[in-house]
Chains A and B, each alone.
Chain A
Amino acid sequence: MSNGVPIVRFENIEKSFGSFKAVDGVTLDVPNNSFFALLGPSGCGKTTLLRMLAGFEHPTSGRVLIDGEDMAGIPPNKRPVNMVFQSYAVFPHMTVRENVGYGLRVSGVPRGEIGPRVEDALRMVRLEAFADRKPDKLSGGQRQRVALARALVKKPKLLLLDEPLSALDKKLREDMQLELVRLQQEVGISFVIVTHDQDEALSMADLIAVMNRGKVLQVAPPWDLYEEPNCRFVADFIGEMNLFEGRMLSADGGQARLDLKGIGLVDVPWDYPATSDVALAVRPEKMRLYREEPELGWVRLPGKVAQVAYFGDNSQVFVETSQAGRVVVLRHNQSRSRDEPYRTGTDCWVAFEPTDGIVLSD
């Protein structure tokens, strides 16, 4: 792998299926040795991009480069990438060992070399004990590991994962997330994962590209994506968000003055030229809930608890405010003795610090 060259480069990719534009002008780099997530709702074009890397789809226009090499005209079986399919696609007529060895066997790896490499791969995904089983005698998680071992044993330059965890139950999914991160660090190649699950992307990837309607909206590390979304779609898609619509009145000296509907004037940090219509976005966990009006210089909104969703470790409290409509507040259930639960109908106050808000103009 040559240094400096990104392992994947998409150049002005467009892809149309009939009149439907699945990918609409994507330019994107995937750095070497990274865990890269393509995140977006279904139909946003993320799977199409992944399948272009594997060679199962071809761009209508634009170029796909893998490790600096143009992939146009190179069939799937000649590409230095391997894929873990959403359905795992484990061959039902082969044992686990035969499945893992298949890729080596068909690409002419010497017989003597196949055995040890298969054993290594099985050890890596902790399936040594299941080597002689047929897939129908395996659980979903184990089949997933077979698919992983089968792809990794070929030592690809890039591993592609298409919604790999969507068919697993919650507990197993969380285990596999950790496992995938460990594997990526162990083998030291780039993983590109397609997912519609923001938690999955946030917890695993070091770089996330958020897509919608065939376009890439933002490429950023998880923290930036969550705390500094660049548009309403990203802000809303990643996690929960309270949006307060309004206008920007003035901006200078790293500050902007906003006039928010129902709230009034608010000063927030702002390093860019002034724009007109904006929204102030505030995460639920950055909002506080009080029974009495708090003595703070924050934005304060009186309201009534409309609904409470209890998750054990925390609760989502939906508050109907008279000034700014319904807002959601995340409340950590930190103490058994002090935290008296908020019940539906309780009068309360919601407050947040303006600097915790994100100004969105798109």
Chain B
Amino acid sequence: MENWRRQPWVFATFIGPGTLWLLLFFLLPLGWIWLFAVGEREGPVDIVVTWTLENYREALQPVYLQLFLKTFLIALVSTAICLVVAFPVALAICFAPERYKNVLLLLVILPFWTNMLIRTYAMIAMLRQNGFVNDGIGLLWTGLKYLLTPIGMDGLMGERFAPLPLLYNNTAVVLGIVYVYLPFMVLPLYANLEKLDRSLIEASLDLGASQVRTFFEIIVRLARPGIVSGIILVFIPALGTFLISDLLGGPDSQLIGNVVERQFRAANNLPLGAALSFLLLYLTFLALALRAWFAARAEKADA
């Protein structure tokens, strides 16, 4: 494939099926939705494309803008937690003995092969009022109280353990997003760190830098491409989340994804739903464009 111009038929054979697939099942439906966003409802099912901007105007009302902002913040916090949790994991896998590496990677990917709905329900089982987490803490609580009784300190622990409100709030949504998207952060970080020349780390230590300093000035700095990929892979799907917030969130945990879903289904307002989802898509494009622009600028500064 060195020079595909010389073998155009080979090239076409390789790239043809994928292109056709994307065209038929991705680009065309997406174009359809894009047209909905500038259309009007006529009757319960028909939509006429009138090139109206009314749907976008409605989508930009303060109530939706607030939702956009909230979605953005939840996605941001979840991505940040993912990064902080995933980095040490990826680093540990890189430094693990060769024969354990694949097993460890498998453990990271394993939940990923389980249906997302099942995983989310499992989270509910963990977090609900009488879930495993609360039961576990409750057991520890009773045990500690029992131990403190002989020395008369049991008063410190209060009358009885009140289960923590772990489910149906924003924290649960963030927790759910982190749980579901963690592999998307670990894998690009691992791929990046695995390529890191170990002697760079040794050189930094040799030159007198502490372990912590070496971590931040050499390892993190050189893992930047992996960090950026990981952030994109987690942040963008997190922006569009609706299942997790629907199942784990409370009444105030509605994200933009939930609203879009409701417009498409319950409210049967496809044009508004389309406008909202395209606003989200434009925002994503803007973020990617900004990233590309920053990368190009950094490269120019280097040259």
Q: Which residues of A contact B (CB under 8 A)?
A: 54-56, 75-78, 81-83, 85-87, 89, 91-93, 102-103, 106-107, 134, 150-151, 154
Q: Is the CB of A89 within 8 A of B209?
A: no
Q: Is the CB of B202 within 8 A of A77?
A: no
With contacts A93-B221, A93-B222 taken as known, whether A87 is within 8 angstroms of B210 at the C-beta atoms is: no
With contacts A56-B202, A91-B218, A106-B213 taken as known, whether A154 is within 8 angstroms of B208 at the C-beta atoms is: yes
Q: How far is the CB of A193 from chain B (nearest CB, A)?
A: 16
Q: Which residues of B contact A (CB under 8 A)?
A: 197, 199-200, 202-210, 213, 217-218, 221-222, 302
Q: How far is the CB of A307 from chain B (nearest CB, A)?
A: 40
Enumerate chain B residues within 8 angstroms of A85, measured Cβ to Cβ: 199, 202-203
**Which of B204, B207, B210, B213 has its CB near the most chain A CB atoms (within 10 A)?**
B207
Q: How far is the CA of A134 from the CA of B302 in the complex (A)?
A: 7
Q: How far is the CB of A16 from chain B (nearest CB, A)?
A: 17
Enumerate chain B residues within 8 angstroms of A89, measured Cβ to Cβ: 197, 199-200, 202-203
Q: Is the CB of A106 within 8 A of B207?
A: yes
Q: Is the CB of B203 within 8 A of A91?
A: yes
Enumerate chain B residues within 8 angstroms of A92, measured Cβ to Cβ: 200, 222
**Which of B199, B200, B203 has its CB near the most chain A CB atoms (within 10 A)?**
B203
With contacts A91-B218, A92-B222, A93-B222 taken as known, whether A76 is within 8 angstroms of B206 at the C-beta atoms is: yes
13 residue pairs from A and B, CB less than 8 Å apart:
A77-B209, A77-B210, A78-B208, A82-B206, A87-B197, A89-B197, A92-B200, A93-B221, A102-B204, A102-B209, A106-B209, A151-B207, A154-B208
> Which single member of B206, B218, B221, B302 contacts A77 (CB below 8 Å)?
B206
Enumerate chain A residues within 8 angstroms of B200, measured Cβ to Cβ: 89, 91-92
> Which single member of B202, B218, B221, B222 contacts A76 (CB below 8 Å)?
B202
Q: Is the CB of A103 within 8 A of B207?
A: yes
Q: Is the CB of A86 within 8 A of B205?
A: no
Q: How far is the CB of A133 from chain B (nearest CB, A)?
A: 10
Q: How far is the CA of A242 from the CA of B209 in the complex (A)?
A: 51
Please, which residue of chain A has its CB at the minimum distance from the CB of B213?
A106
Enumerate chain B residues within 8 angstroms of A76, measured Cβ to Cβ: 202, 205-206
Enumerate chain A residues within 8 angstroms of B208, measured Cβ to Cβ: 77-78, 103, 106-107, 154
Enumerate chain A residues within 8 angstroms of B197, measured Cβ to Cβ: 87, 89
Enumerate chain A residues within 8 angstroms of B213, measured Cβ to Cβ: 106
Q: Is the CB of A75 within 8 A of B222?
A: no
Please, which residue of chain A has its CB at the minimum distance from the CB of B218?
A91
Mostly helix, strand, loop or mixed at chain B's interface?
Answer: helix
Q: How far is the CA of A151 from the CA of B205 in the complex (A)?
A: 12
Enumerate chain A residues within 8 angstroms of B206, measured Cβ to Cβ: 54-55, 76-77, 81-83, 151
Q: How far is the CA of A92 from the CA of B206 in the complex (A)?
A: 17
Enumerate chain A residues within 8 angstroms of B205, measured Cβ to Cβ: 55, 75-77
Q: How far is the CB of A351 from chain B (nearest CB, A)?
A: 51
Please, which residue of chain B has its CB at the minimum distance from the CB of A92?
B222
Please, which residue of chain B has its CB at the minimum distance from the CB of A162?
B199
Q: How far is the CA of A134 from the CA of B301 in the complex (A)?
A: 11
Please, which residue of chain B has its CB at the minimum distance from the CB of A78?
B208
Enumerate chain A residues within 8 angstroms of B302, measured Cβ to Cβ: 134
Please, which residue of chain A has its CB at the minimum distance from the CB of B224?
A93
Please, which residue of chain B has its CB at the minimum distance from the CB of A81?
B206
Q: How far is the CA of A75 from the CA of B197 in the complex (A)?
A: 20
Which 6 interchain pairs have the tightest Cβ spacing?
Answer: A103-B207, A107-B208, A89-B203, A106-B209, A89-B199, A76-B205
Q: How far is the CB of A85 from chain B (nearest CB, A)?
A: 5
Enumerate chain B residues within 8 angstroms of A83, measured Cβ to Cβ: 202-203, 206
> Which single member of A82, A86, A93, A134 contacts B207 (CB below 8 Å)?
A82
Q: How far is the CA of A92 from the CA of B196 in the complex (A)?
A: 11
Q: How far is the CA of A87 from the CA of B217 in the complex (A)?
A: 19
Q: How far is the CB of A353 from chain B (nearest CB, A)?
A: 49
Q: How far is the CA of A317 from the CA of B290 in the complex (A)?
A: 69
Enumerate chain A residues within 8 angstroms of B207, measured Cβ to Cβ: 77, 82, 102-103, 106-107, 150-151, 154
Enumerate chain B residues within 8 angstroms of A151, measured Cβ to Cβ: 206-207
Q: How far is the CB of B302 from chain A (nearest CB, A)?
A: 6
**Which of A106, A150, A154 has its CB near the most chain B CB atoms (within 10 A)?**
A106
Q: How far is the CB of A226 from chain B (nearest CB, A)?
A: 33
Enumerate chain B residues within 8 angstroms of A82, measured Cβ to Cβ: 206-207
Q: How far is the CA of A103 from the CA of B302 in the complex (A)?
A: 22
Q: How far is the CA of A77 from the CA of B217 in the complex (A)?
A: 15
Enumerate chain B residues within 8 angstroms of A91, measured Cβ to Cβ: 200, 203-204, 218
Enumerate chain B residues within 8 angstroms of A86, measured Cβ to Cβ: 199
Task: Kindly list 18 other residue pairs between chains A and B, CB separation below 8 angstroms, not including A87-B197, A89-B197.
Answer: A54-B202, A76-B205, A85-B199, A85-B202, A85-B203, A89-B203, A91-B200, A91-B218, A92-B222, A93-B221, A102-B209, A102-B217, A103-B209, A106-B208, A107-B207, A134-B302, A150-B203, A154-B208
Q: How far is the CA of A259 from the CA of B222 in the complex (A)?
A: 66
Q: How far is the CA of A82 from the CA of B209 in the complex (A)?
A: 12
Enumerate chain B residues within 8 angstroms of A78, measured Cβ to Cβ: 208
Q: How far is the CA of A77 from the CA of B214 in the complex (A)?
A: 10
Enumerate chain A residues within 8 angstroms of B221, measured Cβ to Cβ: 93
Q: How far is the CB of B46 from chain A (nearest CB, A)?
A: 58
Enumerate chain B residues within 8 angstroms of A56, measured Cβ to Cβ: 202
Q: How far is the CB of A148 from chain B (nearest CB, A)?
A: 12
**Which of B204, B208, B210 has its CB near the most chain A CB atoms (within 10 A)?**
B208
Q: How far is the CB of B178 from chain A (nearest CB, A)?
A: 29
Enumerate chain B residues within 8 angstroms of A93, measured Cβ to Cβ: 221-222
Enumerate chain B residues within 8 angstroms of A54, measured Cβ to Cβ: 202, 206
Q: How far is the CB of A345 from chain B (nearest CB, A)?
A: 47
Enumerate chain B residues within 8 angstroms of A150, measured Cβ to Cβ: 203, 207
Enumerate chain B residues within 8 angstroms of A106, measured Cβ to Cβ: 204, 207-210, 213, 217
Q: How far is the CA of A358 from the CA of B116 in the complex (A)?
A: 78
